[in-house]
Amino acid sequence: MKSIRIIFCLLSAIISISAINAQQTINGSIMHDNIERAYILYVPDSYSSQNPAPVVFNFHGYTSNATEQMFYGDFRPIADTAGFLVVHPMGTQDNFGNPHFNVGWGGSTVDDVGFTEALIDSLAADYSIDLDKIYSTGMSNGGFMSYQLACQLSDKIAAVASVTGSFSPSVLGNCVPNRPVPIMEIHGTNDNVVEYNGSFIAVAIPDVIAYWTEENNCEEQPTVTPVPDIDMNDGSTVDHIVHANGDQGVQVELFRVNGGGHTWPGNFIGGVGTNYDIDASKEVWNFFARYDINGRIQMSSVDDVNDENTFSIFPNPVDGSTITLETDDFENYYEIYTLHGQFVSAGDIFSTNQTIDVSDMSSGFYLIRVGDQIQKLVLK
Protein backbone atom coordinates (compact mmCIF):
# COMPACT_ATOMS: atom_id res chain seq x y z
CA MET A 1 0.00 0.00 0.00
CA LYS A 2 2.88 2.37 0.80
CA SER A 3 4.39 1.91 -2.67
CA ILE A 4 1.02 2.63 -4.28
CA ARG A 5 0.71 5.83 -2.25
CA ILE A 6 4.17 6.88 -3.49
CA ILE A 7 3.05 6.31 -7.07
CA PHE A 8 0.01 8.51 -6.51
CA CYS A 9 2.16 11.27 -4.99
CA LEU A 10 4.36 11.29 -8.09
CA LEU A 11 1.30 11.33 -10.33
CA SER A 12 -0.13 14.22 -8.34
CA ALA A 13 2.96 16.27 -9.19
CA ILE A 14 2.43 15.49 -12.86
CA ILE A 15 -1.16 16.77 -12.55
CA SER A 16 0.06 20.17 -11.37
CA ILE A 17 2.39 20.46 -14.37
CA SER A 18 -0.29 19.39 -16.86
CA ALA A 19 -2.75 21.86 -15.39
CA ILE A 20 -0.30 24.69 -16.07
CA ASN A 21 0.65 23.57 -19.57
CA ALA A 22 -2.58 22.23 -21.02
CA GLN A 23 -5.31 23.74 -18.84
CA GLN A 24 -7.10 20.41 -18.99
CA THR A 25 -6.92 19.33 -15.36
CA ILE A 26 -8.50 21.88 -13.04
CA ASN A 27 -8.51 21.84 -9.24
CA GLY A 28 -11.72 23.58 -8.19
CA SER A 29 -13.97 24.03 -5.19
CA ILE A 30 -17.42 25.26 -4.24
CA MET A 31 -19.04 26.17 -0.93
CA HIS A 32 -21.88 23.89 0.16
CA ASP A 33 -23.48 23.83 3.62
CA ASN A 34 -20.69 26.14 4.80
CA ILE A 35 -18.07 23.56 3.81
CA GLU A 36 -15.53 24.17 1.06
CA ARG A 37 -15.84 21.14 -1.20
CA ALA A 38 -12.99 20.33 -3.58
CA TYR A 39 -13.02 18.51 -6.90
CA ILE A 40 -10.76 17.83 -9.88
CA LEU A 41 -12.23 18.50 -13.31
CA TYR A 42 -10.79 17.00 -16.49
CA VAL A 43 -11.65 18.89 -19.68
CA PRO A 44 -10.54 17.17 -22.91
CA ASP A 45 -8.97 19.11 -25.79
CA SER A 46 -12.05 18.33 -27.87
CA TYR A 47 -14.31 20.36 -25.56
CA SER A 48 -16.02 23.30 -27.26
CA SER A 49 -18.53 25.68 -25.75
CA GLN A 50 -20.46 25.36 -29.02
CA ASN A 51 -21.25 21.69 -28.31
CA PRO A 52 -22.73 20.76 -24.91
CA ALA A 53 -20.63 17.93 -23.43
CA PRO A 54 -21.73 14.94 -21.34
CA VAL A 55 -20.39 14.79 -17.77
CA VAL A 56 -19.16 11.74 -15.84
CA PHE A 57 -18.90 11.97 -12.05
CA ASN A 58 -16.18 9.62 -10.80
CA PHE A 59 -16.33 9.17 -7.00
CA HIS A 60 -13.38 7.79 -5.04
CA GLY A 61 -13.45 5.02 -2.45
CA TYR A 62 -13.31 5.19 1.35
CA THR A 63 -9.91 6.50 2.61
CA SER A 64 -8.97 7.38 -1.00
CA ASN A 65 -9.16 10.76 -2.71
CA ALA A 66 -9.99 12.47 -6.00
CA THR A 67 -6.43 12.30 -7.33
CA GLU A 68 -6.09 8.57 -6.73
CA GLN A 69 -9.44 7.87 -8.35
CA MET A 70 -8.53 9.93 -11.41
CA PHE A 71 -5.64 7.53 -12.09
CA TYR A 72 -7.02 4.28 -10.64
CA GLY A 73 -10.39 4.45 -12.41
CA ASP A 74 -9.11 6.47 -15.35
CA PHE A 75 -11.59 7.87 -17.90
CA ARG A 76 -9.36 10.57 -19.36
CA PRO A 77 -8.16 8.72 -22.51
CA ILE A 78 -11.78 7.80 -23.25
CA ALA A 79 -12.94 11.38 -22.63
CA ASP A 80 -10.33 12.61 -25.10
CA THR A 81 -12.01 10.57 -27.82
CA ALA A 82 -15.66 10.73 -26.74
CA GLY A 83 -15.63 14.38 -25.68
CA PHE A 84 -17.08 14.27 -22.16
CA LEU A 85 -15.99 16.06 -18.98
CA VAL A 86 -14.86 14.01 -15.97
CA VAL A 87 -15.47 15.31 -12.44
CA HIS A 88 -13.63 13.75 -9.49
CA PRO A 89 -15.32 15.02 -6.30
CA MET A 90 -13.41 14.98 -3.04
CA GLY A 91 -15.08 13.55 0.03
CA THR A 92 -14.94 15.05 3.51
CA GLN A 93 -13.32 13.53 6.60
CA ASP A 94 -15.46 11.26 8.75
CA ASN A 95 -15.21 10.82 12.52
CA PHE A 96 -12.06 8.74 12.02
CA GLY A 97 -10.37 11.32 9.80
CA ASN A 98 -10.85 9.30 6.62
CA PRO A 99 -12.12 10.79 3.32
CA HIS A 100 -15.60 9.48 2.62
CA PHE A 101 -18.96 10.10 1.00
CA ASN A 102 -22.02 9.86 3.23
CA VAL A 103 -23.94 6.80 2.04
CA GLY A 104 -25.82 5.91 5.21
CA TRP A 105 -23.20 4.32 7.42
CA GLY A 106 -20.55 5.63 9.81
CA GLY A 107 -22.65 8.32 11.48
CA SER A 108 -21.85 10.98 8.88
CA THR A 109 -24.23 13.92 8.46
CA VAL A 110 -22.64 15.45 5.34
CA ASP A 111 -25.11 16.11 2.52
CA ASP A 112 -23.19 14.65 -0.42
CA VAL A 113 -26.29 14.41 -2.60
CA GLY A 114 -26.85 18.14 -2.15
CA PHE A 115 -23.16 18.75 -2.84
CA THR A 116 -23.39 16.80 -6.11
CA GLU A 117 -26.47 18.74 -7.19
CA ALA A 118 -24.75 22.04 -6.37
CA LEU A 119 -21.64 20.95 -8.28
CA ILE A 120 -23.77 20.16 -11.34
CA ASP A 121 -25.23 23.66 -11.17
CA SER A 122 -21.78 25.18 -10.77
CA LEU A 123 -20.37 23.29 -13.77
CA ALA A 124 -23.40 24.24 -15.86
CA ALA A 125 -22.72 27.91 -15.11
CA ASP A 126 -19.07 27.70 -16.20
CA TYR A 127 -19.18 25.15 -19.04
CA SER A 128 -21.44 24.10 -21.85
CA ILE A 129 -22.69 20.73 -20.58
CA ASP A 130 -25.48 18.45 -21.72
CA LEU A 131 -27.82 18.28 -18.73
CA ASP A 132 -29.50 15.21 -20.25
CA LYS A 133 -26.23 13.29 -20.17
CA ILE A 134 -24.87 13.43 -16.64
CA TYR A 135 -23.64 10.10 -15.30
CA SER A 136 -22.22 8.76 -12.04
CA THR A 137 -19.70 6.02 -11.33
CA GLY A 138 -17.19 5.28 -8.62
CA MET A 139 -15.07 2.81 -6.75
CA SER A 140 -16.33 1.12 -3.56
CA ASN A 141 -17.71 4.00 -1.41
CA GLY A 142 -17.98 5.88 -4.71
CA GLY A 143 -20.16 3.07 -6.05
CA PHE A 144 -22.39 3.34 -2.97
CA MET A 145 -22.58 7.08 -3.64
CA SER A 146 -23.61 6.50 -7.25
CA TYR A 147 -26.48 4.23 -6.16
CA GLN A 148 -27.57 6.90 -3.68
CA LEU A 149 -27.71 9.42 -6.51
CA ALA A 150 -29.81 6.97 -8.57
CA CYS A 151 -32.27 6.89 -5.68
CA GLN A 152 -32.26 10.55 -4.65
CA LEU A 153 -31.16 12.53 -7.72
CA SER A 154 -32.62 10.51 -10.58
CA ASP A 155 -34.04 13.64 -12.20
CA LYS A 156 -30.46 14.72 -12.99
CA ILE A 157 -28.41 11.52 -13.20
CA ALA A 158 -29.01 9.69 -16.48
CA ALA A 159 -27.29 6.39 -15.64
CA VAL A 160 -25.18 4.83 -12.89
CA ALA A 161 -22.31 2.34 -12.81
CA SER A 162 -20.80 1.03 -9.57
CA VAL A 163 -17.41 -0.69 -9.41
CA THR A 164 -17.00 -2.80 -6.23
CA GLY A 165 -19.78 -0.80 -4.55
CA SER A 166 -23.26 -1.66 -3.35
CA PHE A 167 -26.34 -0.27 -1.61
CA SER A 168 -26.31 0.67 2.02
CA PRO A 169 -29.33 -1.10 3.57
CA SER A 170 -30.70 2.24 4.80
CA VAL A 171 -30.47 3.76 1.30
CA LEU A 172 -32.15 0.75 -0.27
CA GLY A 173 -35.01 1.07 2.20
CA ASN A 174 -35.58 4.68 1.15
CA CYS A 175 -34.89 4.49 -2.56
CA VAL A 176 -37.39 6.59 -4.51
CA PRO A 177 -36.22 7.15 -8.10
CA ASN A 178 -38.72 9.12 -10.18
CA ARG A 179 -37.78 7.45 -13.48
CA PRO A 180 -36.15 4.25 -14.76
CA VAL A 181 -32.40 4.43 -14.09
CA PRO A 182 -29.97 2.33 -16.20
CA ILE A 183 -27.73 0.40 -13.81
CA MET A 184 -24.38 -1.37 -14.19
CA GLU A 185 -22.43 -3.16 -11.46
CA ILE A 186 -18.88 -4.55 -11.79
CA HIS A 187 -18.00 -6.75 -8.84
CA GLY A 188 -15.63 -9.54 -7.85
CA THR A 189 -16.95 -12.65 -6.13
CA ASN A 190 -13.86 -12.69 -3.87
CA ASP A 191 -14.19 -9.05 -2.82
CA ASN A 192 -13.31 -9.08 0.90
CA VAL A 193 -14.13 -5.40 1.48
CA VAL A 194 -17.59 -5.02 -0.05
CA GLU A 195 -18.54 -8.68 -0.03
CA TYR A 196 -20.37 -10.04 -3.06
CA ASN A 197 -22.88 -11.85 -0.83
CA GLY A 198 -23.45 -8.85 1.41
CA SER A 199 -22.69 -7.70 4.96
CA PHE A 200 -24.20 -5.46 7.62
CA ILE A 201 -23.15 -2.37 5.62
CA ALA A 202 -23.73 -3.66 2.08
CA VAL A 203 -26.64 -5.33 0.31
CA ALA A 204 -25.67 -8.53 -1.52
CA ILE A 205 -24.91 -7.85 -5.18
CA PRO A 206 -27.52 -10.34 -6.51
CA ASP A 207 -30.11 -8.49 -4.39
CA VAL A 208 -28.95 -5.12 -5.77
CA ILE A 209 -29.42 -6.41 -9.31
CA ALA A 210 -32.80 -7.94 -8.43
CA TYR A 211 -33.99 -4.64 -6.94
CA TRP A 212 -33.12 -2.56 -9.98
CA THR A 213 -34.43 -5.24 -12.35
CA GLU A 214 -37.82 -5.02 -10.67
CA GLU A 215 -37.72 -1.24 -10.23
CA ASN A 216 -36.97 -0.72 -13.94
CA ASN A 217 -39.40 -3.42 -15.06
CA CYS A 218 -36.63 -5.33 -16.88
CA GLU A 219 -36.80 -8.98 -17.88
CA GLU A 220 -36.36 -11.17 -14.81
CA GLN A 221 -34.49 -13.84 -16.79
CA PRO A 222 -31.12 -12.42 -17.89
CA THR A 223 -28.83 -13.27 -20.76
CA VAL A 224 -25.45 -14.49 -19.54
CA THR A 225 -22.42 -14.11 -21.79
CA PRO A 226 -18.99 -15.40 -20.70
CA VAL A 227 -16.32 -12.82 -21.51
CA PRO A 228 -13.30 -14.32 -23.31
CA ASP A 229 -10.55 -15.14 -20.80
CA ILE A 230 -7.88 -13.11 -22.59
CA ASP A 231 -5.59 -12.93 -19.53
CA MET A 232 -5.29 -16.42 -18.10
CA ASN A 233 -2.79 -15.28 -15.48
CA ASP A 234 -5.06 -12.89 -13.56
CA GLY A 235 -6.83 -15.66 -11.64
CA SER A 236 -10.34 -14.61 -12.64
CA THR A 237 -12.96 -14.78 -15.35
CA VAL A 238 -15.94 -12.57 -16.15
CA ASP A 239 -19.62 -13.21 -16.93
CA HIS A 240 -21.70 -10.39 -18.41
CA ILE A 241 -25.25 -10.66 -17.06
CA VAL A 242 -27.92 -8.47 -18.69
CA HIS A 243 -31.56 -7.87 -17.72
CA ALA A 244 -32.96 -6.21 -20.83
CA ASN A 245 -36.07 -4.41 -22.07
CA GLY A 246 -36.88 -2.26 -19.08
CA ASP A 247 -39.07 0.83 -19.14
CA GLN A 248 -37.73 3.50 -21.53
CA GLY A 249 -35.39 0.85 -22.94
CA VAL A 250 -33.09 0.72 -19.90
CA GLN A 251 -31.09 -2.32 -18.86
CA VAL A 252 -29.60 -3.62 -15.61
CA GLU A 253 -26.18 -5.17 -16.15
CA LEU A 254 -23.66 -7.01 -14.01
CA PHE A 255 -20.08 -7.87 -14.87
CA ARG A 256 -19.50 -10.68 -12.36
CA VAL A 257 -15.77 -11.12 -11.92
CA ASN A 258 -15.43 -14.73 -10.82
CA GLY A 259 -12.50 -14.84 -8.41
CA GLY A 260 -11.97 -11.08 -8.62
CA GLY A 261 -11.11 -8.92 -5.64
CA HIS A 262 -11.78 -5.37 -4.46
CA THR A 263 -10.17 -3.70 -7.48
CA TRP A 264 -10.93 -1.74 -10.64
CA PRO A 265 -10.64 -4.20 -13.56
CA GLY A 266 -8.09 -3.16 -16.15
CA ASN A 267 -6.31 -0.56 -14.00
CA PHE A 268 -2.57 -0.18 -14.64
CA ILE A 269 -1.59 -0.13 -10.95
CA GLY A 270 -2.82 -3.66 -10.33
CA GLY A 271 -3.57 -5.14 -6.93
CA VAL A 272 -4.58 -8.58 -5.67
CA GLY A 273 -7.53 -9.96 -7.61
CA THR A 274 -7.40 -7.44 -10.50
CA ASN A 275 -9.05 -8.76 -13.65
CA TYR A 276 -7.64 -7.88 -17.07
CA ASP A 277 -10.25 -9.50 -19.30
CA ILE A 278 -12.21 -6.24 -19.23
CA ASP A 279 -11.39 -2.58 -18.81
CA ALA A 280 -13.93 -1.25 -16.31
CA SER A 281 -13.61 2.34 -17.53
CA LYS A 282 -14.35 1.36 -21.13
CA GLU A 283 -17.28 -0.84 -20.13
CA VAL A 284 -18.75 1.93 -17.99
CA TRP A 285 -18.53 4.54 -20.75
CA ASN A 286 -19.91 2.14 -23.39
CA PHE A 287 -22.87 1.66 -21.03
CA PHE A 288 -23.37 5.36 -20.33
CA ALA A 289 -23.17 6.29 -24.01
CA ARG A 290 -26.35 4.34 -24.72
CA TYR A 291 -28.53 6.51 -22.46
CA ASP A 292 -29.65 10.01 -21.65
CA ILE A 293 -32.09 11.23 -18.99
CA ASN A 294 -35.01 9.95 -21.10
CA GLY A 295 -33.70 6.38 -21.34
CA ARG A 296 -32.03 4.56 -24.20
CA ILE A 297 -30.92 6.87 -26.99
CA GLN A 298 -32.53 5.84 -30.26
CA MET A 299 -31.41 6.50 -33.79
CA SER A 300 -33.55 9.04 -35.57
CA SER A 301 -34.02 7.49 -39.01
CA VAL A 302 -32.56 5.42 -41.83
CA ASP A 303 -30.78 8.60 -42.98
CA ASP A 304 -28.19 7.88 -40.29
CA VAL A 305 -26.76 4.98 -42.33
CA ASN A 306 -23.10 5.56 -43.19
CA ASP A 307 -21.73 5.25 -46.72
CA GLU A 308 -18.39 3.98 -45.43
CA ASN A 309 -18.11 1.65 -42.44
CA THR A 310 -15.34 0.06 -40.45
CA PHE A 311 -17.31 -3.16 -39.92
CA SER A 312 -19.04 -5.71 -42.13
CA ILE A 313 -21.96 -8.14 -41.72
CA PHE A 314 -22.38 -11.48 -43.40
CA PRO A 315 -24.53 -13.01 -44.61
CA ASN A 316 -26.65 -9.98 -45.45
CA PRO A 317 -29.49 -10.57 -46.38
CA VAL A 318 -29.88 -13.22 -43.69
CA ASP A 319 -31.92 -16.39 -44.08
CA GLY A 320 -30.58 -18.20 -41.01
CA SER A 321 -30.49 -17.71 -37.24
CA THR A 322 -27.10 -15.98 -36.89
CA ILE A 323 -24.97 -13.31 -38.50
CA THR A 324 -21.26 -12.59 -38.16
CA LEU A 325 -20.09 -9.07 -37.43
CA GLU A 326 -16.52 -8.49 -38.56
CA THR A 327 -14.70 -5.52 -37.03
CA ASP A 328 -11.32 -4.51 -35.63
CA ASP A 329 -13.10 -2.57 -32.86
CA PHE A 330 -13.74 -5.64 -30.73
CA GLU A 331 -13.89 -3.74 -27.44
CA ASN A 332 -17.05 -1.92 -28.51
CA TYR A 333 -20.69 -3.01 -28.58
CA TYR A 334 -23.39 -3.38 -31.19
CA GLU A 335 -27.03 -2.26 -31.22
CA ILE A 336 -29.85 -3.30 -33.56
CA TYR A 337 -32.83 -1.04 -34.33
CA THR A 338 -35.83 -1.06 -36.62
CA LEU A 339 -35.83 1.40 -39.51
CA HIS A 340 -37.96 3.70 -37.34
CA GLY A 341 -35.30 3.83 -34.63
CA GLN A 342 -36.94 1.42 -32.17
CA PHE A 343 -34.40 -0.53 -30.12
CA VAL A 344 -34.32 -4.30 -30.74
CA SER A 345 -31.20 -5.73 -29.08
CA ALA A 346 -27.60 -5.03 -28.11
CA GLY A 347 -24.50 -6.85 -27.01
CA ASP A 348 -20.77 -6.67 -26.47
CA ILE A 349 -18.22 -7.35 -29.17
CA PHE A 350 -15.53 -9.65 -27.83
CA SER A 351 -13.82 -10.75 -31.06
CA THR A 352 -13.05 -9.55 -34.56
CA ASN A 353 -15.63 -12.05 -35.86
CA GLN A 354 -18.58 -11.76 -33.48
CA THR A 355 -21.53 -14.13 -33.92
CA ILE A 356 -24.93 -12.53 -33.24
CA ASP A 357 -28.14 -14.52 -32.69
CA VAL A 358 -31.03 -13.05 -34.72
CA SER A 359 -33.38 -16.01 -34.42
CA ASP A 360 -35.92 -14.03 -32.38
CA MET A 361 -36.16 -11.21 -34.93
CA SER A 362 -38.93 -11.06 -37.54
CA SER A 363 -38.28 -10.78 -41.26
CA GLY A 364 -37.69 -7.22 -42.40
CA PHE A 365 -35.23 -4.36 -42.53
CA TYR A 366 -33.08 -3.25 -39.58
CA LEU A 367 -30.19 -0.96 -38.69
CA ILE A 368 -27.10 -2.21 -36.86
CA ARG A 369 -24.76 0.22 -35.15
CA VAL A 370 -21.20 -0.21 -33.91
CA GLY A 371 -19.94 2.97 -32.26
CA ASP A 372 -20.92 5.79 -34.62
CA GLN A 373 -21.05 3.49 -37.68
CA ILE A 374 -24.43 2.23 -38.97
CA GLN A 375 -25.41 -0.29 -41.64
CA LYS A 376 -28.62 -1.80 -42.96
CA LEU A 377 -29.46 -5.40 -42.10
CA VAL A 378 -32.03 -7.49 -44.00
CA LEU A 379 -33.69 -10.58 -42.54
CA LYS A 380 -35.52 -12.84 -45.00
**Digit-coded pLDDT (tens) for 74-128:** 999 999 989 999 999 999 999 999 999 999 988 899 999 999 999 999 999 999 9
Higher pLDDT, 347 or 286: 286
Higher pLDDT, 177 or 12: 177
132-141, 172-181, 356-365: least confidently modelled range = 356-365
What is the per-residue pLDDT for 12? 52
pLDDT tens-digit profile of 81-95?
Answer: 899 999 999 999 999
Mean of all residue pLDDT scores within the chain: 90
Task: Give yes or no for residue 309 having a pLDDT over 80.
Answer: no
> Which long-range CB contacts under 8 A does 330-334 form with residues at least 24 apart?
330/354, 331/279, 331/282, 332/286, 332/370, 332/371, 333/286, 333/290, 333/370, 334/368, 334/369, 334/370
Instruction: Give the pLDDT band (50/70/90) at residue 15.
Output: very low
For 281-299, what is the mean pLDDT?
93
What is the per-residue pLDDT for 16? 43
What is the per-residue pLDDT for 276? 97
What is the per-residue pLDDT for 270? 86
185-194, 221-230, 370-379: least confidently modelled range = 370-379
- Give me the domains of the chain, ranges plus CATH numbers: 9-296 (3.40.50.1820), 302-379 (2.60.40.10)
pLDDT tens-digit profile of 211-231?
Answer: 999 999 999 999 999 999 999
